[in-house]
């Protein structure tokens, strides 16, 4: 338990008592005088607040770009943070900063610190990135007056030099830590400690990556007097791989999931690369995506279609597992045991006679929430479907299987005739809402249309309209 945090900021040790729900952005700007980190949207969308964060073994123990505006002080305890002030070396700009300056890569400059930090994060992990990787690293950073071409060119130029976050970086602002105490954060190290804490603090907020909670907190200005962080719980940080499955601890980040599944499940990997931005994937966890129980979360449709199992635990109920599709009961209502926690998700791996595809339809390709997300697991004997699971997000109050669509395809050929019959069944499975992202009619049409896309895709006929 702690109401004080200690961390490294640009190489210097900082220890201060602070409310655990203070955003790192406020901490940096208001209490530590590090005002190079900017506030734009305050909800994880624009990247102006990007910082580099290294947390224990998380994301391979490397620095990754993250959004300070939705990150809380509780999340940087024991971590290392580098802000834009820490990137220059002994009075000289980094290669990237130099290239940005020489290349006309900045006009008003408001977005520039965040862009530099995001690109330094890329260069640290991939010293020779491809152009696609540069675009991907910038997906979470908005620039509205320079335009991206000169920024991408600067990144390419800098890539020829090795990126380097100095061990003794320059910190041109005085660290003037102020104590703003109140509130308590808990950092349990194992599952037993976690469930005991939940039992004795039922009002506490379970905090994983904070990418959902941080937005909610900013939007509704909620305070959390008590936070239980899952980041150090060893059972929730596990990734187990066998020949037949992966088990991802609930506190495994999407960046870590992506690393693990990229070779076996390329379609899922494409979806994960469109999950928020680099900044969001380096913080957001698989367990948080399920725990938030959003009808438009991108993880659950794929995980359900793949036949995943969720494991939960509580102090009084012990450990329980169930198929993930049974976890979602109604809008934001789940089968979570009282005072319980998600421990892990077990995902079966694909066999040679099985295929998996997932398609996300959103208004923008990058950094956007799904209007509809379809996920398809098929077991095939030649062209005949011998078994299948199809799940959709954005079509109902919960991520849900399309049982009538499945029945129309089960035992049949994946051809135009049966795809059309299955498409007709879509309206009997779902009566989606009309909202800002799409009408009910549009959603039904899109969900049905994705079946045709699936057919062409499985046949090897190219369907990708955009690629990164």
Note whether 457 binds ligand FAD by CB under 6 A: no
The interaxial angle of helices 440-458 and 416-429, nearest 10 deg, is 150
Place of tokens 């990418």: 211
How far apart (Å, rounded) are the C-alpha atoms in residues 275 and 259?
14
Q: What is the nearest approach in angstroms of ligand FAD to the Cβ of residue 328?
A: 13
Which range binds ligand FAD by CB under 6 A, 212-220, 238-246, 255-263, 384-392? 212-220
What sign results for the dihedral spanned by CA atoms 322, 326, 329, 331? positive
Place of tokens 């123990």: 61
* Three-state SS letters, 356-372: EEEEEECCCCCCCCCCE
Using CB under 6 A, which residues numbered 19 to 48 contact ligand FES? Answer: 39-42, 44-48
How far apart (Å, rounded) are the C-alpha atoms in residues 129 and 353?
35
Task: Tell which one of 107, 164, 245, 267 touches ligand FES (CB under 6 A).
Answer: 107
Which range binds ligand FES by CB under 6 A, 119-127, 141-149, 185-193, 292-300? 141-149
Site string for ligand FAD, 192-211 (x = CB under 6 A): -------------xxxxxxx
Which range binds ligand FES by CB under 6 A, 138-146, 229-237, 285-293, 446-454? 138-146
Note whether 121 binds ligand FAD by CB under 6 A: no
CB contact at 8 A, 430 and 395: yes
Place of tokens 């421990």: 343
Between 110 and 442, whose beta carbon lies closer to ligand FES? 110
Which range binds ligand FAD by CB under 6 A, 11-19, 37-45, 174-182, 322-330? 37-45
| Distant-in-sequence, close-in-space partners of 250: CB < 8 Å, separation ≥ 6 | 208, 230, 236, 285, 286, 287, 288, 290, 291, 341, 342, 343, 344, 345
Using CB under 6 A, which residues numbered 297 to 356 contact ligand FAD? Answer: 297-299, 341-342
Q: How many residues contact ligand FAD, by CB under 6 A?
A: 34
Note whether 49 binds ligand FES by CB under 6 A: yes
Which range binds ligand FES by CB under 6 A, 84-92, 103-111, 166-174, 224-232? 103-111
CB contact at 8 A, 279 and 118: yes
Q: Which residue ranges make up the site for ligand FES (CB under 6 A)? A: 39-42, 44-49, 67, 69, 106-112, 143-146
């Amino acid at each position: 338990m702690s109401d004080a945090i200690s961390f490294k900021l640009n190489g210097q040790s900082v220890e201060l008592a602070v409310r655990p729900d203070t955003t790192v952005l406020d901490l940096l700007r208001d209490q530590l005088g590090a005002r190079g980190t900017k506030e734009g949207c305050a909800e994880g969308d624009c990247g102006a607040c990007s910082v580099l964060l290294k947390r224990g073994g998380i994301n391979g123990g490397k620095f990754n770009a993250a959004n300070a505006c939705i990150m809380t002080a509780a999340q940087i305890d024991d971590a290392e943070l580098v802000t834009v002030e820490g990137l220059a070396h002994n009075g000289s700009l980094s290669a990237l900063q130099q290239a940005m300056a020489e290349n006309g890569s900045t006009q008003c400059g408001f977005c520039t610190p965040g862009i530099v930090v995001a690109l330094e994060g890329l260069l640290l992990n991939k010293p020779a990135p491809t152009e696609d990787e540069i675009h991907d690293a910038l997906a979470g950073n908005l620039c509205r007056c320079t335009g991206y071409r000169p920024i991408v060119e600067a990144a390419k130029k800098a890539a020829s030099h090795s990126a380097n976050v100095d061990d003794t970086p320059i910190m041109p602002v005085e660290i003037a830590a102020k104590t703003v105490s109140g509130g308590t954060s808990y950092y349990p190290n194992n599952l037993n400690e976690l469930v005991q804490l939940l039992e004795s603090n039922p009002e506490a907020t379970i905090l994983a990556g904070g990418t959902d909670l941080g937005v909610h907190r900013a939007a509704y200005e909620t305070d959390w007097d008590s936070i239980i962080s899952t980041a150090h719980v060893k059972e929730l940080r596990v990734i187990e791989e066998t020949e037949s499955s992966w088990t991802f601890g609930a506190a495994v980040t999407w960046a870590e999931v992506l690393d693990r599944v990229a070779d076996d499940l390329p379609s899922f990997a494409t979806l994960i690369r469109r999950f928020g931005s680099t900044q969001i994937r380096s913080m957001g966890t698989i367990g948080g995506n399920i725990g938030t129980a959003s009808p438009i979360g991108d993880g659950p449709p794929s995980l359900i279609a793949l036949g995943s199992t969720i494991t939960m635990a509580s102090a009084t109920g012990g450990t329980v597992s169930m198929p993930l599709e049974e976890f979602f009961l109604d809008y934001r209502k789940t089968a979570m045991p009282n005072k319980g926690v998600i421990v892990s998700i077990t995902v079966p791996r694909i066999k040679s006679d099985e295929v998996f595809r997932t398609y996300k339809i959103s208004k923008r390709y990058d950094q956007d929430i799904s209007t509809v997300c379809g996920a398809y697991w098929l077991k095939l004997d030649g062209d005949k479907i011998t078994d299948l699971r199809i799940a959709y997000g954005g079509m109902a109050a919960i991520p849900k299987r399309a049982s009538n669509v499945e029945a129309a395809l089960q035992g049949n050929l994946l051809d135009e005739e049966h795809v059309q019959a299955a498409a007709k069944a879509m309206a009997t499975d779902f009566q989606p809402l009309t909202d800002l992202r799409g009408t009910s009619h549009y959603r039904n049409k899109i969900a049905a249309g994705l079946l045709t896309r699936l057919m062409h895709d499985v046949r090897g006929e190219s369907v990708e309209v955009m690629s990164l």
